[in-house]
Amino acid sequence: MEPDPSQSPTGGSSSLIFLGTGCSGALPDARCLLKPSTPPCAVCSMGISQPPEGNPNYRLNTSLLIDYCHDDGTHKYILIDIGKTFREQVLRWFVHHKVPYVDSMLY
């Protein structure tokens, strides 16, 4: 059976963009880096051992961006939870995903 073309979307696809998945203080924790314990905190030490882009121990505050794409191809951007690392999230992920604005915020 062939798919019904009238039922397929004509625009792009919607997506979820995880801007941050860390704790409320983010990782690595500044306290661990400024005044390390003995032995040093393993998670925070690993958090600075490699670039943030591919580092599972470098995490920004929890936040999610919904990129909702209408059938006509226009987008609506809904931001959920704005934390202390929002500026870094915008610089890293909004630029990467070419997000030009936010339509709604839930915090």
What does the buried/exposed string (b/e) look like for 26-47 if buried means 16 or more CB atoms within 10 Å of the residue's CB? bbbeeebeeeeeeeebeebeeb
Residue 56 CA to residue 15 CA, distance in Å, equals 21
Q: Are 57 and 28 in contact (CB under 8 A)?
A: yes
- Residue-wise DSSP of 10-59: SS---EEEEEE-B-TT-BS-HHHHHS--SSPPHHHHHHTSS-GGG-TT-B
pLDDT at residue 11 in the model? 54
pLDDT at residue 90 in the model? 96
pLDDT at residue 68 in the model? 98
pLDDT along the chain (107 residues), means of 10: 46 88 87 86 89 89 96 96 94 94 95
pTM: 0.77
